[in-house]
Amino acid sequence: MVRSVENGGEAVEISPDHFDPTAVVPEPLPKVVESDGELLNGKSNGDREIVLGRNVHTTCLEVTEPDANDDFTGDKDAFMASILARYRKTLLERTKHHLGYPYNLDFDYGALAQLQHFSINNLGDPFIESNYGVHSRQFEVGVLDWFARLWEIEKDEYWGYITNCGTEGNLHGILVGREVFPDGILYASRETHYSVFKAARMYRMECVKVDTLVSGEIDCADFKVKLIAHKDKPAIINVNIGTTVKGAVDDLDLVIKTLEESGFTHDRFYIHCDGALFGLMMPFVKRAPKVSFKKPIGSVSVSGHKFVGCPMPCGVQITRLEHINALSRDVEYLASRDATIMGSRNGHAPIFLWYTLNKKGYKGFQKEVQKCLRNAHYLKDRLLDAGISAMLNELSSTVVFERPWDEEFVRRWQLACQGNIAHVVVMPNVTIDKLDDFLSELVEKRSTWYQDGKVKPPCIATEVGNENCLCTLHK
């Protein structure tokens, strides 16, 4: 809120005396309820439901009209500057305790500040000029060529674009598959990102969910059973290059082998690889299976704001050029063609990606991947040493462990949770010091949560396997 004073007979809004521009703005914790509606207040590991209609208006920043003589007084500018200063302080605090989501927050794009004065929009097909001249297609295609080399496809054999997020990459990949096989059935493991199932609903596709192993990988035995049950229709398959919760990498070669053994020739299936996070990390992991267009895959997508570290959501989607004509349409208004999902795209994002790829290169990314994997193993080992159930997949930097009992703790460290498990995604900005701070606080909190024996740590053997569960039943 602001107060007003008289200035020549007119009211002028100014900051209240108690307004502290350096204060951290607390965010309210969403209520947690059991399935019967009883509030848990974050003190139980029972069934949790998200409460709809959370009243964010209690913390929103109201938009107010400037005063008539504000150009003279400048009070509104000063007020907004103080709001932004306080918001920046909040961002610094929340970044310091950011562990559960796969975003690389270690970047510096100060050199690109000079471009913020321009409205850069990459309309339509990246490879065809349009009438709109304020674009960054030259950067976009340069980034796409870099990823094409990474995934082993020739320049004249691929088509792609910089998406507005990872979900758009999945929506596009599944859409291409649907256009190639209009009567095809979509197969996806139960631990697939929700955007793939969103695509199935949007495109009115028949979708078959496939069971997963304890690791989170697709269960190819169950996959084979379901393929044979629907062998009369083509298969559109989503392959996870790192699942959302456990960071599990589906065995692409085994998926292809299963398709072939089930009677599906290469002209009767389409594979989309969702590599949101690990699609860029996998090429730099020794012994990791290769994602390559030399194999019979149809498309690959990754997020640009995750491992790369772009300050705005974006992604990369690449598919085979031969598939794109079914989607592409002439747009006279643009004097171009368009086969993208959104049409207009953030023209700044390709420049940020181009800048990082040039600075780090393949060797730079390889060093960062190795650092993330080392730190992830460090966290997993420390958790187990502290008696906390934990699991880490071989090709992953996502450490899964028992869900903390206190939801305030979960919110403080911004942990991603599902049922009785939580995870930390170790990214380049997650240092050993940050992990030590997190571990020491977690161990201290657990000593109070479970001290009287009335509440016990959850058993997560079903989620991580008996060998990784340290509950009283599996120690």
CB atoms within 10 A of CB 463: 22
Give me the catalytic one of 44, 396, 440, 447. Answer: 396
Q: Which residue type does 95 have?
A: T
Q: What pairs with residue 4 in β-bridges?
A: 13
Question: How many helices (DSSP H) and strands (DSSP E) are in the chain?
Answer: 13, 17
**299 counts as catalytic:** no
Beta strands in 32-172 (DSSP E): 32-33, 49-50, 158-163
| 440 Cβ contact list (under 8 Å, min separation 6) | none
Cβ(306)–Cβ(341) below 8 Å:
no
Cβ-based burial of 353 (10 A; exposed 0-12, middle 13-18, buried ≥19): buried
Rg over CA atoms, the chain: 25
Orientation angle between helical segments 348-385 and 137-150, nearest 10 degrees: 40
3-class SS at 185? strand
Q: What pairs with residue 402 in β-bridges?
A: 421
Rounded CA-CA distance 190/30 in Å is 26
Q: Which token pair is 246?
A: 């456990």
**Angle 468-472-473 (CA atoms, 0-180°, nearest 5)?**
75
Q: Which token pair is 94?
A: 């929340």
Q: Which residue type does 14 have?
A: I
Residues carrying an active site annotation: 396
